[in-house]
Chain A
């Protein structure tokens, strides 16, 4: 029952990537089983390991956890990345909710037609620069601390860095005009566990490609007809 957490998902980012980031940030080693065939997925269904018939699924502390938000909350609390009290937790949940919404626009990106991808890229950058980045820029400016919540490294910081890097992959100079976020990015990237995760050879997954999209569609028999926001 003790032993490393085991992640069940595709060999790609999707909804599991935030969990990989969080475990890595907490310095927790984990194993992964990659879904490549429909048969593997059907076997998991038959075994009853997927509570709502979906992945991500993470075997951790004797539980088969599903629902990425539930999994991440558990990990954050277990490894003391969830603030010191209810109010700090509320702030962390609030901030993570925002970055989740932003990363949600990026999640569907690989599944779009070439034309819709261009529309979505513009949409992502617009939302990042007019809605989300200004909010976090202000938080950091107002308290002048290194971390988003309670002057302590938390899940909110990990999630924001992940979101920043993902948006930068769509537009490399997107942080122009956000000096606090630029400094934040440099600071959080140099935290030892995060620095390690950002190096080649870590379990961080690359930007999703056509092969990833094919695999997801084949295994789940879904996501054939996605539209831009």
Chain B
């Protein structure tokens, strides 16, 4: 029952990547099982281990957890990345939810048609620079602290650095005009656990490619 958490997902970012980031940031080693065929997925369903017949699924502390948000909240709570009280947790939740809305656009991007791709990049850029990044720029500027909430490293910081790097992959200069976020990005990237995760050979997954998209469609075909 004890032992490393075990992640069950495809061999790619998708909805599991934030979980990889958070475990890595917390310095927690984990194992992964990669779904490559429909048969593997159907077996998981027959075995009754996917409560809503969906992945991500994470085996952790004797539980077979599904629902990404539930998994992340549990990990954040367990490893003290969730603030010191209810109000700090509320702030972390608000920030994480906002960032997740932005990440949703990136999540869906590989599945858009070639014609829609350019429009979608523009939408991501617009949302990042007009709605989400200004909020965190302002938060950091106003309190002048290193971390988003309570002067302490939290889930919100991990989620934000992940989002910044993901958006930069699509729009390399997106942080121009956001000096606080540039400094934040540098600070977070230098934290030992995150620095390690950003190095080659870590469990971090590369940007989704055609092979990943094909695998998703093959495994989950309706």
A1 interface residue per 8 A CB criterion:
no
B87 & A63 in contact (Cβ 8 Å cutoff): yes
Q: How many residues of A contact B (CB 8 A)?
A: 28
**Are B67 and A94 in contact (CB-based, < 8 A)?**
yes
B215 beta carbon closer than 8 Å to chain A? no
- How distant is A123 from chain B, measured CB to nearest CB, in Å? 11
Contact status of A67 and B70, CB under 8 A, knowing A77-B86, A86-B78, A135-B51: no
Judge whether A78 is part of the interface by a CB distance below 8 angstroms: yes
Contact between A90 and B135, CB atoms less than 8 A apart: no
Q: How far is the CA of A73 from the CA of B95 in the complex (A)?
A: 13
Is B97 part of the contact surface with A, judged by Cβ < 8 Å? yes
Q: Is A168 an interface residue (CB 8 A)?
A: no
B216: Cβ under 8 A from any A Cβ = no
Q: Does B98 sit at the interface, judged by CB under 8 A? A: yes
Q: Which of A69, A74, A86 contacts B69 (CB 8 A)?
A: A69
Nearest B-chain residue to A52, judged by Cβ: B98
> Chain A: interface secondary structure?
helix
A97: chain B residues within 8 A (beta carbon): 66-70
> B3 on the interface (CB 8 Å rule)?
no
Which chain A residues lie closer than 8 Å to B109 at the CB level?
Answer: none
Bound CA span A87–B61, Å: 9
In the complex the two chains form, is A131's CB within 8 Å of B53's CB? Answer: yes
Decide if B86 touches A90 in the complex (CB within 8 Å). Answer: no
Known: A90-B74, A98-B52. A74 touches B67 (CB 8 A): no
How many pairs, one residue from A and one from B, have CB atoms within 8 Å of each other in the complex? 78
Report whether B67 and A98 are in contact in the complex, using a CB–CB cutoff of 8 Å: yes
Do most interface residues of chain B lie in helix, strand or loop, or is the interface mixed? Answer: helix
Contact with A along B28-58 (1 / 0, CB 8 A): 0000000000000000000000011100000
Of residues A63, A67, A86, which shows the largest number of chain B Cβ atoms within 10 Å of its Cβ? A67
Shortest Cβ gap from B102 to chain A (Å): 9
B residues 85-114 near A (Cβ < 8 Å) are 86-87, 89-90, 93-94, 96-98, 101
The answer to whether B132 and A94 have CB atoms under 8 Å apart is no
Contact among B61, B70, B132 for A52, CB-based, below 8 A: B132
Residues of B within 8 A of A94 (CB): 51, 65-67, 70
Which of B69, B86, B135 is the one whose CB lies under 8 Å from A93? Answer: B69
- The residues of A that contact B73 with a CB separation of less than 8 Å are 89-90, 93
A191 at the interface (CB under 8 A from B): no
Name 25 A/B residue pairs within 8 A (Cβ), A-sorted.
A51-B94, A51-B98, A52-B132, A63-B87, A65-B94, A69-B93, A70-B94, A70-B96, A73-B93, A74-B86, A77-B89, A86-B74, A90-B63, A90-B73, A93-B70, A93-B74, A94-B65, A94-B66, A94-B70, A96-B70, A97-B66, A97-B69, A97-B70, A98-B67, A101-B52
Residues on B facing A (Cβ under 8 Å) = 51-53, 61, 63, 65-70, 73-74, 77-78, 86-87, 89-90, 93-94, 96-98, 101, 131-132, 135
* Extra inter-chain contacts (15) besides given A90-B63, A135-B52, CB under 8 Å: A51-B94, A63-B87, A66-B98, A69-B69, A69-B97, A70-B94, A77-B89, A87-B61, A93-B67, A93-B74, A94-B51, A94-B66, A96-B70, A98-B52, A98-B67
- The chain A residues found within 8 Å of chain B, CB to CB, are 51-53, 61, 63, 65-67, 69-70, 73-74, 77-78, 86-87, 89-91, 93-94, 96-98, 101, 131-132, 135
